[in-house]
Each structure stands twice: as structure tokens, then as C-alpha cells.
Structure 1
Amino acid sequence: MIKRNLLVVGLAVMLSACGFQLRGTGTSEMSVKEMDVSARNAYGPTVIQLREVLERSGVNVHAGAPYRLVLTNEQERQRAVTYNSGNRTAEFELTTELDYSIHGLNNLELTSDKVEVRKVYVRDASNITGSEQDAKRARDEMRRDLVNAMVVRLQNLTPAQLDELQRKADERAKAEADALEAARRQQAETPQQSPLEVPGN
């Protein structure tokens, strides 16, 4: 018994040394220490949970942060994947996609991508209440998985990477501004053709 306990403790120490954490047992520190988080649905459960997880990870989430994570769109799809012979029960696959972008100084978009999670649950036509509870439980688990996946994406970003993305975004914005200015100047310098005058009879 003592040997087994020591083995479990030793395994836990080794995994924690590698940076591994079981889902729901804690959070990992993030290298980005300040970030604003916004969404189309500002009071939706996904953005609220994400803010909470980021704050537990040591991120100062506030409106004046140098970087802003924008949850641009969250979509859910459902499809039947299996039926039984009497169509009384069926397995349904839920898919949730979360589109996001990260903005930097001058509200320039630095990067954009999406995260996706899937889960299968069983719906029993003879137990509608139980099936609805299973579906709600599946959606709650998917939201946690979605937030965890989003946090993993953010953990892979370093301030140096964000600075480089900001530099490239600044260069793109300057090139676009220069092109617009050149087009405006060219238009201003181009002589305007006078309307054709028709001599009187």
C-alpha cells in the first residue's frame, strides 16, 4: 500500500515538473500578463468563463490592456450520427466553433483563428427530460473545453511574438495609408477636363 502511494506521489511530481495539469485542478501561468477580452455577447457564459480562467492564470484583464482578445463569433451545430432500429434513441454530435481575433495598438488586428470542440450525447425519445439534461450537460462540458482550448492558444503566445505581429500590422497599416495618400495626391494633380462647350448658332 505504501509503495503504491509513493508511486502515485512520484508520478504526480514528475507530471507537474513537466508542466502537466489535470483539467479543472489548476491553471498555468501565462507569459502575456495584460489583456482585454470582449465579445459580441458581452455577458455570455463563454466570455465570462474565459475572463475568470485568464484571471486565475495571472492575467490582468482590463479595458486599457495593450492587447485585446475579441470573440467574434460562436456557432453551434448538431447532427444525428446513429439511430437504433426503432428510432427511439439516437446519438447526436454537437460541434461548437469559436472565431476570435487579437488586436494590438491602434486597434490593429494582429492575428485571427478559431477553436472547435465536439461531443456526442444520446437522446432517448422515451425520456425527453433526461435527454435534455444530457444535452445541457454536454453543452456545459463543451464550453469548458472551448475555454480551455482558447487558453492553450493564448499560452502559446509570447510578448515577443505579439510584438512581432504588432510590427507587421503597423507596416501593413502604413503601406495602406501611403497608398491611399499617393492615390489622393495623383487625383489632385491630374488636370480636370473642362466640359465641352458647344458654340451657339
Structure 2
Amino acid sequence: MTLRSALPVLLAALLLSACSGWQLRGQTSVPNLESVTVDGASARLRYTLEDRLEPAGVQVHGQAPYIIKILDERWDRRTAAVDDRGRAAERELRYEITWQLVDRDTGAMLNPPRRIAAIRSFAYSPDNVTATSDEEDLVRTDLFEDIGYRLINQLANASRKIEP
């Protein structure tokens, strides 16, 4: 009886490990590009991308043959929960970018504009504004890292379609 119950679990584990698209969080695909220019991004997003791309062998500079254009970068903040007195108890941050890869020489758009969004919530205390501000900054840093990771993975997929 235990063999019959273990067989579906074993089969599911084998199927999951065989899936070529699955990877651990933090494992970034490497774009098939030697260098890129990042245009239109905030300084913090640009630094995040540089910190992730350059160790992977992709140089980030102003004269690269390919341009990552950040068409839109938006932050939204809202109250996600209130306490029993009607004061904010939890805040939600949403960070969203729209990007596109462009060939510098021809001006050709190498992929359609793609949108990436990430949302995080954190406890908000109106009685402890300093700690709440620090927490919000940590959440913002996490959102930059998450968006940077996802943008590089999408960039790696887009770069596979470019003929050398």
C-alpha cells in the first residue's frame, strides 16, 4: 500500500525536476549580449541592473549596441489594512516597469514592450514612524532586486531571439 501512495509523489517529483523552465529564485539567466545601455531608468534601478549584469559578463555602458529602454517606472503605495481605530496598520507597495530592447544601429524594437510588476506589504505603525520608514526602505530595496532579477530573465529570453 505504501508503494502505491509513494508512486504519485515520486512521479510528480520527476516531472518537476524535468521541467526545463523551472529554476530556484535568485538563479538568473544570463543574457546572450556582450553589452547593453540602460536608458530611462531611475538611478537605483540602473545600479541594481549593473550589479546583476556585470558579474554575469554583460557590460553596461552608454555606447552598447543594444539599449534596454525603461518606458515607464511607477511606484504606488496604499493602505492595505487598518487597526481597530481606523488608522493604517499595513501598507502595500507596488513597483511596476515597462521595458523594451532596442537595437542602437537600426532603432528596431527587438521585443514588444513588456510590463513587470511586484507587490509587497509591510506592517505600518503610526506610533513608530522611524521604524516604519526603515521598513519601507527595505521593502523598496527588495522590490528593486525582484524587478531587476525578473527583467534580466526576460532580457535573456529576448536576447536568444537575436541573430548574432
Partner of 1:71: 70
Mapped contact 1:71–1:100 kept (Cα < 8 A):
yes
Indicate the residue corresponding to 2:120 in structure 1. 119
Deviation at 1:46, TM superposition (A): 0.4
- Alignment of structure 1 residues 86-97 onto 2, 5 Å: 86-97=85-96
CA deviation after TM superposition for structure 1 residue 72, in Å: 2.1
Q: Which is richer in helix?
A: 1
Q: 1:40, 1:71 within 8 Å by CA — same for their partners in 2?
A: yes
Amino acid aligned to 1:65? A
Corresponding position of 1:12: none
In 1, Cα distance between equivalents of 2:92 and 2:109: 33
1:1-201 equivalence runs, <5 A: 20-23=23-26, 28=28, 30-41=30-41, 44-104=43-103, 105-111=105-111, 112-159=113-160, 161-163=161-163
Q: Which has the larger radius of gyration?
A: 1
- Aligned CA distance change for structure 1 residues 157 and 90 (closer, same or farther; 3 Å): same
Structure 1 residues 81 and 31: alpha-carbon distance in aligned structure 2, compared to 1, 3 A threshold: closer
The TM-score with structure 1 as length reference comes to 0.62
The answer on whether the counterparts of 1:69 and 1:103 sit within 8 Å (CA) in structure 2 is: yes
Distance 1:110 1:155 in 2: 12
Unaligned 5+ segments in structure 1 are 1-14, 165-201
Question: Cα–Cα, structure 1 residues 39 and 63, in superposed 2: closer, same or farther, change >3 Å?
Answer: closer
Decide whether aligned partners of structure 1 residues 125 and 137 sit closer, same or farther in structure 2, where only a CA change above 3 A counts: same
Partner of 1:192: none
Residues 70/152 of structure 1: CA separation in 2 closer, same or farther (3 Å cut): same
Question: What is the deviation of 1:139?
Answer: 0.6
CA RMSD of aligned residues (A): 2.4
The DSSP-based 3-state class of the residue aligned with 1:146 is helix
Distance 1:64 1:39 in 2: 11
Q: SS at 1:37's partner residue?
A: strand
Task: Report the Cα distance in structure 2 between the residues aligned to 1:130 and 1:29, rounded to whole angstroms.
Answer: 35
Q: Aligned residue pairs: how many?
A: 143
**Per chain length, whose mean CA-contact separation is higher, i.e. which structure has more relative contact order (CA < 8 Å, sep 6+)?**
2
Gap change, CA 1:113 and 1:28, over 3 Å in 2: closer
Aligned-residue offset at 1:75: 0.5
TM-score by length of 2: 0.75
User: What is the alpha-carbon distance in structure 1 between the residues aligned to residue 78 and residue 28 of structure 2?
Assistant: 35
Q: Secondary structure at the match of 1:157?
A: helix
Q: 2:6 maps to what in 1?
A: none
More strand by share: 2
